[in-house]
Amino acid sequence: MTEKTGTTGTTETTGTTGTTETTETTGTTETTETTGTTETTETTGTTGTTGTTGTTGTTDTTGTTDKYDVVVVGGGAAGLSAALVLGRARRRTLVVDAGEPRNAPSAHMHGFLSRDGMSPAGFLAAGREEIARYGVGLVRDRAVDAVRDAAGEFDVALAGGRTVHARHLVVATGLRDELPAVPGVAERFGRDVLHCPYCHGWEVRDRAFGVLATSPLSVHQALMVTQWSEDVTLFLHRVGEAELSDDDLRRLAAAGVHVVPGEVAGLVVEDDRLSGVRLAGGTPSGGGTTHAREVLFVAPRALPRTDLLRGLGAELRETPFGTYPVIDERGLTTVPGLWAAGNAGGFAEQVINAASRGYRAGAAINGELLFTDLDAAVAAQSTAHSTARR
């Protein structure tokens, strides 16, 4: 299941797991998270935050800036996974969650071992409960700006007026799917208008598939979905037949994919189910030929949420699927201390891949912090010894 960022609202959860009680609310309402004898209080707005994680952590009492080892922007699979690793490493960590998961339109996620069929909302709720056990803070807010100070650390401004300070910053803000402007597509997205056969193909197998072309690359999508149905029609929409290569045409024919030229005017829905794809033209009312289809696959335009990365000077690279930061195998960008995980760092990160990326970044950050502090301690001892000998 691809990690998705939609436009749906924030899911609020209140529950008790073991000795951990989590209450999360939006606005300026206080959020209290208790784990054993460790209490972390996260408050939106400009009020300060008091937190204790194991025996580490720094508390700022000025009421304007809260100091953390790591701030994670984004509360999806990548962000929560990074936060979980950091919390278990006794790092004072804050997750800033705007509540815009990419997979919100989907009722279920698939392909995540041991979590196959789980709802995206349920998955994230479980993740929030898990990070709370280790004293990780979570605030429902949006990071609107970030600056890197002279020491190479980060001040992150939140929409609610609060500023948080971090030695390292993880950007796990995902991406937004821009759907084709065809009537009915957005309304059915995540139900019978789909984009990923690995995420949803099994559930709709052997039905009449359509594929709505958004570029010549849609040929690849049409060929892929033939693994789940033998009845596949590629609607070229605004892609010209001349834009398809000879190899494309030969493969489509070999796969038994029917190619239909012409612009798609809209979808036909009956009894809350997709029943057809209607072409433009035809009657004066705009009705054209309708092709009976039960499922429609589309390829949304990916819009990575890279504003924070761009603003901090991270090098970006252009790909056919959007603009993403240049990162190493751990997720470190070209800016020291600035990390990217999940769909903020690449297009093809399903939920399980995004969680893995977050885990890897979290472990790497803990190592970076540990050895930075050890090197500073060694340097301080060396200076002290030199002074004492004078």
Largest Cα separation within the chain, whole Å, is: 97
- In terms of pTM, does the model score above 0.85? no
**What would the mean pLDDT of 207-231 be, rounded to a whole number?**
97
pLDDT of res. 282: 52
Q: DSSP label at 279?
A: E
Please name the amino acid found at residue 146. Answer: A
Phi and psi, residue 165, nearest 5°: -110, 140
Q: Which of 53-62, 273-282, 340-349 has the lowest mean pLDDT?
A: 53-62
Phi and psi, residue 174, nearest 5°: 70, -155
Confidence class of residue 64 from pLDDT cuts 50, 70 and 90? low
pLDDT of res. 103: 86
Q: Which residues of 3-24 are buried (b: 16+ CB within 10 A; e: fewer)?
A: bbbbeeeebeeeeeeeebebbb
37 has pLDDT over 50: no
Of 151, 168, 196, 256, nearest in space to 4 by CA: 196
Phi and psi, residue 120, nearest 5°: -55, -40
- The span from the CA of 341 to the CA of 366, in Å, is 15
Of 149, 151, 150, 143, nearest in space to 170 by CA: 143
Query: What token pair was written down for 335?
Result: 């800016």
pLDDT of res. 284: 39
56 has pLDDT over 60: no
- The span from the CA of 142 to the CA of 14, in Å, is 21
- The span from the CA of 213 to the CA of 204, in Å, is 19
User: What residue has token string 């993740």?
Assistant: 127
By residue count, the chain amounts to 390
- The span from the CA of 257 to the CA of 210, in Å, is 10
- The span from the CA of 120 to the CA of 66, in Å, is 30
pLDDT of res. 369: 98
Cα 34 to Cα 10, 12, 38, 163: the distances in Å are: 22, 17, 6, 23
Is residue 124 classed as helix, strand or coil in its secondary structure? helix
Q: Which of 74-78, 122-126, 286-290, 296-300 has the lowest mean pLDDT?
A: 286-290
- The span from the CA of 133 to the CA of 18, in Å, is 9
More confident residue, 389 or 372: 372
Cα 150 to Cα 42, 141, 155: the distances in Å are: 27, 26, 11
The DSSP bridge pattern shows strands 163-171 and 232-235 to be: unpaired
Of 44, 237, 195, 51, nearest in space to 131 by CA: 51
279 has pLDDT over 70: yes
260 has pLDDT over 80: yes
Of 144, 153, 132, nearest in space to 69 by CA: 153
Give Cα 155 distance to the centre of its chain: 22
